[in-house]
Amino acid sequence: MRTIATADVGGTHARYALAGLDGDRVVSLSEPVTLKTNEHASFQLAWEEFGRRIDQPLPKEMAIAFAGPIGGEVLKLTNNPWVIRPALMQEKLGVDRFTIVNDFGAIGHAVAALDGSAYRHLCGPDRPLPDHGSVTILGPGTGLGVASLLKLGRGYEVISTEGGHIDWAPLDSLEDRILGELRRSFRRVSIERLISGRGLMNIYEALATIEKRPTAIHDEKELWAAAMNGSDSLAAAALDRFFLTLGAISGDLALAQGASAVVIAGGLGLRLVDHIGRSGFRDRFIAKGRFERLMDDMPVKLITYPQPGLFGAAAAFAKEHA
């Protein structure tokens, strides 16, 4: 068995851990070190802080899940000012071999490698993920991550996407009005503007304008708490609309990717798991006209493994360098 470092770098947090590999399998993952990205000026400085925290020499091999497009000489995070220059990895970080994957590409590798105990069933037939075919993976967090996993029996391929930036399509008259309000702030309203950590605030503020009510909550954490405990009726209405939109978008992406199952990931998904079943998520997920039967027969699961990004990045490294 050999040990590599693995990192999951998002818009708000960067997580680091040590992963044990046995051939092409990840067999262990250490307790992660979580750092706030706004407290460190660069990936290198956060990497050095990780080394100080674990108080041991860092491995010479590394896997990185990166919340942004992969490719080119300079990798820029979508919601974070850090950049990574792959050509300088050895010089700056002292690593000899590395793998960099999109953050939701890493989730795809995790979904391919983890067993059924890593999931919680949400709706549709309660059966395992398929051994063959496509699985749609999405997850709201700082942004909205989207990937596709193509399972090929004994092998698999992960397709990283920027699906969170496709246009949002309203489905009823209230959503038409919400779209009108959001257009006052955004030149283009993508699905990430609604289905993300910030998305609930966008919906809440739009509903407040439509209802001609003042916005009593201005902090995102307070808004999420009020929405989930029902202490603020406008926040609760925004959360209802959030779930409806999440259901519709999950179904749209599954149709677009030819999926036979859907997996929802991300820390926000874990916080919402107990609310999804009581929401309108499933109704919107299957409401696809002539394809309603197809959607009704599609399992939707939530990944509950605590660090799928770290695990998936390590799995991607194992797949590439086994």
Q: Is 5 annotated as a binding residue?
A: no
b (16+ CB within 10 A) / e for 166-192: bebebeeeebeebbebbeeeeeebbbb
Q: Is 10 annotated as a binding residue?
A: yes
CB 160 within 8 A of CB 101: yes
Strand partners, 100: 64
Q: Is 7 annotated as a binding residue?
A: yes
Q: Is 11 annotated as a binding residue?
A: yes
Strand partners, 147: 137, 160
Strands 132-140, 144-152: pairing kind: antiparallel
Q: Is 12 annotated as a binding residue?
A: yes
What 3-state class would DSSP assign to 241?
A: helix
The token pair at 39 is 């407290």
CB 159 within 8 A of CB 70: no
The secondary structure element, H or E, covering residue 122 is strand 119-123
CB 285 within 8 A of CB 245: no
Q: Please classify residue 36 by burial: count the beta carbons closer than 10 Å to its beta carbon, then call 0-12 exposed, 13-18 middle and 19+ buried.
A: exposed
Q: Which residues are annotated as a binding site for ATP?
A: 7-12
Q: Which residues are annotated as a binding site?
A: 7-12
